[in-house]
């Protein structure tokens, strides 16, 4: 295993399970200490259970198993003061910040005109405002440090496609893709790179039971929008983590402002 992040520190939100956990472990494998954040709650609008404190403890164990240190804080990305405090605690422990992975997010399913106000608001608050708060807390630290850095935002291929049944989710993921490009333009002078990744289906255990009736009802007309080209079914969290690590590494030091699909060819169909 290479040590592309030896002596560096990565701040990762939504780190208790799934892509966030895989990213924490990947960066730790390659030498980084980790500042991790997760709300560890059930969200009102999702049909699947949220991450637990036990999940978060397992992330801590896996990072430490790599011989690296981790500061893990239970905090909600919708709470700017809590995000800032979690990041400050990590920087106080490790002395620096190099990589930010704004990964925390939720999803639920409904036809766009049937999305409830509560679904809409919670999705906007977590997926869009939460990313904004994460970046708002981290960017001044990176600028002050004066050594550049990398920010990677987790969007979705649905933001590139206009996927059916997840209009509120698409709105947030398209919003953060646009924010990525703006921040890349603004932060280039500081050698801070900002990119977004756009996964397809990822095997994270977040089973959206509210999506299944819609897929069955509209299978002939709308379900083909979810088809991929490569025959692998779903990506694993580690597939996404590998790309996030690449974008955050020196190998990608001339890459900023891109919206990179990790989508088995879905966006090309």
Whole-number CA gyration radius for the chain? 18
Q: How far apart are CA 241 and CA 25, in angstroms?
A: 9
Q: How far apart are CA 133 and CA 125, in angstroms?
A: 10
Strand order, beta sheet including 192-199: 70-74, 33-38, 9-13, 99-102, 149-154, 192-199, 259-262
Dihedral class, residue 154 (left if φ above 0, else alpha if ψ from -120 to 50, else beta) = beta
Question: Residue 215: enclosing H or E segment and its boundaries?
Answer: helix 212-217
DSSP string, 60-119: HHHHHHTT--EEEEE--TT-HHHHHHHHHHHHHHHS---EEEE-------B-GGG--HHH
Q: How far apart are CA 142 and CA 149, in angstroms?
A: 7
169 noted as active-site residue: yes
Please pick, among 48, 133, 169, 200, the residue that the annotation labels catalytic: 169
Residue partners of 218: CB distance under 8 A and separation at least 6: 164
**Any idea which residues carry the catalytic annotation?**
169
């Amino acid at each position: 295993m290479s040590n592309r992040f030896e002596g560096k520190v990565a701040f990762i939100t939504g780190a208790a399970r799934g892509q966030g956990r895989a990213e924490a472990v990947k960066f730790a494998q390659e030498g980084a200490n980790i500042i991790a954040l997760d709300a560890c709650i059930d969200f009102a609008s999702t049909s699947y259970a949220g991450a637990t404190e036990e999940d978060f403890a397992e992330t801590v164990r896996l990072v430490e198993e790599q011989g690296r240190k981790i500061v893990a804080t239970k905090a909600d990305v919708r709470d700017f003061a809590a995000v800032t405090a979690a990041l400050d605690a990590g920087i106080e422990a490790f002395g620096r910040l190099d990589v930010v992975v704004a990964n925390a997010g939720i999803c639920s399913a409904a036809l766009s005109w049937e999305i409830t106000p509560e679904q809409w608001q919670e999705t906007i608050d977590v997926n869009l405002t939460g990313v904004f708060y994460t970046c708002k807390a981290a960017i001044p630290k990176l600028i002050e440090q004066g050594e550049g850095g990398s920010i990677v935002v987790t969007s979705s291929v649905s933001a590139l496609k206009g996927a059916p049944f997840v209009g509120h989710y698409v709105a947030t993921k398209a919003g953060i893709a646009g924010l990525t490009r703006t921040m890349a333009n603004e932060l280039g002078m500081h050698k801070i790179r900002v990119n977004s990744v756009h996964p397809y289906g990822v095997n994270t255990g977040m089973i959206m039971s509210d999506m299944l009736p819609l897929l069955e009802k509209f299978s002939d007309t709308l379900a083909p929008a979810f088809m991929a080209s490569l025959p692998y079914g779903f990506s694993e969290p580690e597939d996404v983590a590998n790309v996030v690590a690449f974008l955050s590494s020196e190998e990608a030091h001339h890459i900023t402002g891109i919206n990179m699909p990790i989508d088995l060819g879905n966006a090309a169909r």
